[in-house]
């Protein structure tokens, strides 16, 4: 028999499902150099970051390079724990070795979760040690709405961020490490016979698109931090909660195109407050087939967005040559050298054996007065 309590809980769950997300999905457009905001909607609302987490992983790694703890040539070895990470992943067997530079390229372009673990273990000594660094660096950057529980972005209910925090982090990566910005603009890579294209749909399609990172899990929907440099200006957009990758990419492109033509708002990205609360779970709407509410948009606005998405989808994508990456040869463990014989001990043992055998030898010696029997040769 179904209890009243269980029935009430079922009714509550159905009602929550039908109600849709409590807030519109976050969107934000800022100028990278100045931090000026050109568009903002729910930018301080908590959201699951998905693989946008890897931007924080890259930032911590850059900080470790800056401190001289690691270098681009530091060897990263795939551990058994790394091989157990869920897709997306490179799928290398345990013991596979590569440079940290190659690992970061695969991490960003492929969004490889197994390499997220491998990089964390290399830089932080362990995943837990690396995550502690993530949270420390996050606090130092003023990412007040972000909590990190892993280095790759696979779902953890406590791992949250905001569009505002992702914009602050993106600016920190580009402004503090301009010489490393090329990591985020790679069109793809090859390793062996495997070729991987960048998941960022703006790259190769939108003029001046040059970064940064995409992310997706059911709970977050499709997320992106995207940058476009044009006319001496670099604009950054953050979009979270897209139902499809193309919708997410098209929205980011639309925000940036509008920002390049519009005046800024009287708002700096750092001053956007943290809204607090719990992140919206997009699972029913992204992986469950339900349509989320309009988020306050009018029919005319929704139609305009749909037209833009169709236009974006029809734009040809031309990708440049992928960068070629290689793996390092397997680590050769030299066999343990055979123990060298102790010559003194051997000599001592031999002498002792000679002394022990000497009396027997004397006793067995024939008397000199006894003539030996002649030998007989038989033919």
Backbone φ and ψ for 41, nearest 5 degrees, come out as -145, 115
d(C-alpha 165, C-alpha 54), whole Å? 14
In 3D space, the residue among 151, 119, 302, 146 whose CA is nearest the CA of residue 238 turns out to be: 146
Question: Is 79 among the catalytic positions?
Answer: no
Selecting among 54, 105, 110, 213, the annotated active-site residue is 54
Measured over the CA atoms of residue 286, residue 289, residue 295 and residue 297, the dihedral's sign is positive
> Is there a contact between 118 and 78 (Cβ–Cβ < 8 Å)?
yes
Q: Strands 188-191 and 323-325, how do they pair?
A: parallel
Distance from C-alpha of 214 to C-alpha of 240, rounded to nearest angstrom: 10
Q: Which of 51, 88, 138, 146 is catalytic?
A: 51
Helices (H) and strands (E) in the chain, counts: 11, 10
Q: Hey, what are 143's tokens?
A: 């990412």
For 172, list phi and psi in degrees, rounded to 5.
Answer: -60, -40
Catalytic residue among 88, 110, 111, 213: 111
Active site residue 111: yes
* Residues tagged active-site: 51, 54, 111
């Amino acid at each position: 028999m179904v209890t009243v309590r269980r029935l009430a809980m079922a009714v509550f769950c159905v009602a929550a499902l039908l109600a849709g997300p409590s807030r519109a999905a976050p969107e934000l457009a800022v100028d990278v150099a100045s931090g000026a905001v050109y568009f903002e909607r729910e930018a301080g609302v908590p959201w699951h970051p998905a693989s946008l987490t890897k931007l924080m992983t890259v930032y911590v790694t850059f900080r470790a390079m800056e401190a001289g703890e690691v270098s681009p040539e530091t060897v990263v070895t795939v551990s058994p724990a790394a091989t157990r990470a869920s897709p997306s992943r490179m799928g290398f067997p345990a013991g596979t070795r590569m440079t940290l530079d190659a690992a970061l390229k695969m991490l960003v372009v492929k969004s490889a979760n197994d390499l997220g673990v491998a990089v964390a273990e290399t830089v932080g000594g362990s995943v837990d040690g690396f995550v502690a660094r993530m949270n420390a660096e996050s606090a130092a950057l003023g990412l007040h709405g972000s909590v990190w529980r892993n280095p790759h972005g696979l779902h953890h209910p406590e791992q949250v961020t905001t569009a505002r925090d992702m914009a602050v982090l993106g600016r920190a990566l580009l402004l503090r490490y301009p010489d490393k910005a090329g990591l985020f603009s790679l069109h793809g890579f090859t390793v062996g016979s495997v070729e991987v294209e960048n998941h960022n749909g703006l790259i190769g399609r939108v003029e001046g698109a040059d970064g940064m990172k995409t992310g997706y899990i059911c709970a977050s929907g499709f997320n992106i931090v995207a940058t476009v440099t044009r006319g001496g200006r670099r604009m950054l957009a953050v979009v979270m909660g897209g139902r499809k990758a193309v919708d997410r990419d098209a929205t980011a492109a639309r925000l940036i195109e509008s920002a390049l033509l519009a005046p800024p708002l009287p708002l700096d990205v750092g001053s956007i407050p943290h809204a607090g609360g719990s992140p919206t779970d997009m699972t029913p709407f992204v992986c469950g087939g339900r349509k989320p509410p309009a988020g306050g948009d009018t029919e005319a606005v929704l139609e305009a967005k749909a037209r833009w998405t169709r236009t974006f989808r029809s734009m040809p994508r031309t990708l440049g040559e992928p960068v070629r990456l290689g793996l390092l040869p397997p680590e050769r463990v030299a066999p343990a050298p055979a123990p060298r014989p102790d010559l003194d001990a051997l000599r001592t043992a031999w002498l002792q054996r000679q002394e022990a055998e000497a009396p027997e030898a004397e006793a067995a010696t024939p008397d000199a007065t006894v003539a030996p029997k002649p030998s007989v040769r038989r033919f």
